[in-house]
Amino acid sequence: MDSTPSKPTSQLSLSNVGLAFGFIAFDAVLSKTLGLGIGALLVTSAVRCVVQLSLVALILQKVFDADNPWAVARRHTRMFTTVLLSNLGSTIPIAILGVRYAMSEEPFWRPTAFIPVVGILCGSIIANIVIAVDHVLRQLDENTDRIETYLAFGASRFEACRPLALAALRLALTPTISQMSVIGIIAIPGTMTGALLGGADVAQAARLQMVIMFLICGSSVLAALACTFACLSIVVDAEARVRLDKIDNRPHEVWRVRKRIVACVMDGICKAAGNGEEDESQAGPLLD
């Protein structure tokens, strides 16, 4: 049996979505006719579904176009250091406060509680960091003239970059906010599922999921803010210059190294094959 997933037979457009939305409109009319009082809720939920899935598609398209996790975002000088410090600075303090006070664990460094929380927070905020930094660098690259005009008229680097920084933060935090707004409606979240499988009380599992979700949201905001601030501080220097030379659009070093290794291996194989053919051609006259 072929397990390869089948491809869609036709391309869907917004008109197809609009036609499918007709069923929601029909349900809303039916609700109005029967006096169910759920028509507005149906339409609002459908609109939220369209907006949220469109944003998810926009974000995932960059991942699929890149075809590897290392090439999702542009990079800037000292990005590894800034991302590492932003990650640690936003997860460790919130994990300490959350485990100690929100989860009432004493001491807070108890491994069974502290390590899983730190792991969840670190894994959850990576997407926010990638989206924020990529948006800032892309806007700086594409709108250099506008930023430099603001700077020439006396704006500080943060005043000139404030609109794109706000847009980056909104875009970066949209997945977290959307997840928090629909959590528990579509499916039981992972933390709550794990607690239930571990034998926890349902109410306790739900409260644990709430705490974890709020910690994730707090860490995401801090991490996105820190990375955006660091990115602007590096690419727009203290002398009000946009330093595009600090933006690296090349593939990640891991993939460049892999490409060089593959090239060396292929070159060695070609040379070995060429030497073998040369030896055979030299051995031919001797045999004759």
Per-residue pLDDT of the chain (288 residues; tens, 9 = 90+): 444 444 444 566 777 777 777 777 877 787 777 676 767 777 887 787 777 777 767 765 655 555 444 444 566 777 788 888 888 898 999 889 888 888 888 888 888 888 888 888 988 888 888 888 888 888 888 888 888 888 888 888 888 888 888 888 888 888 888 777 777 666 667 777 777 777 777 777 788 888 888 888 888 888 988 999 988 888 888 787 888 777 776 666 666 677 778 788 888 788 777 666 665 566 555 445
| Residue at 115 is within a domain | yes
Same domain, 28 and 89: no
Same domain, 28 and 137: no
Same domain, 86 and 62: no
Same domain, 47 and 122: no
Alpha-helical (H) ranges within the chain are 14-34, 39-66, 79-97, 111-142, 144-152, 157-182, 190-197, 202-235, 253-287
pLDDT of 245 reads 74
pLDDT of 3 reads 43
| Residue at 123 is within a domain | yes
| Residue at 33 is within a domain | yes
pLDDT of 5 reads 42
Same domain, 73 and 58: no
Q: Which residues contact 215 (CB under 8 A, 6 or more apart)?
A: 94, 95, 98, 102, 117, 120, 121
Strands 75-76 and 247-248: antiparallel
Same domain, 172 and 48: no
The domain in which residue 39 lies consists of: 21-66
Task: Please answer whether residues 132 and 168 qualify as being in contact, where contact means their C-beta atoms are separated by less than 8 angstroms.
Answer: yes
pLDDT of 186 reads 64
Same domain, 113 and 175: yes
Same domain, 113 and 151: yes
| Residue at 136 is within a domain | yes
pLDDT of 250 reads 66
Same domain, 201 and 60: no
Same domain, 53 and 115: no
Number of structural domains, the chain? 2
pLDDT of 43 reads 80
pLDDT of 36 reads 64
Q: Specify the pTM.
A: 0.65
Task: Please answer whether residues 132 and 229 qualify as being in contact, where contact means their C-beta atoms are separated by less than 8 angstroms.
Answer: no
pLDDT of 191 reads 75
Same domain, 163 and 102: yes
Is it true that the peptide bond before 107 is cis, omega within 30 degrees of 0? yes
Task: Please answer whether residues 113 and 208 qualify as being in contact, where contact means their C-beta atoms are separated by less than 8 angstroms.
Answer: no
| Residue at 140 is within a domain | yes
Same domain, 42 and 123: no
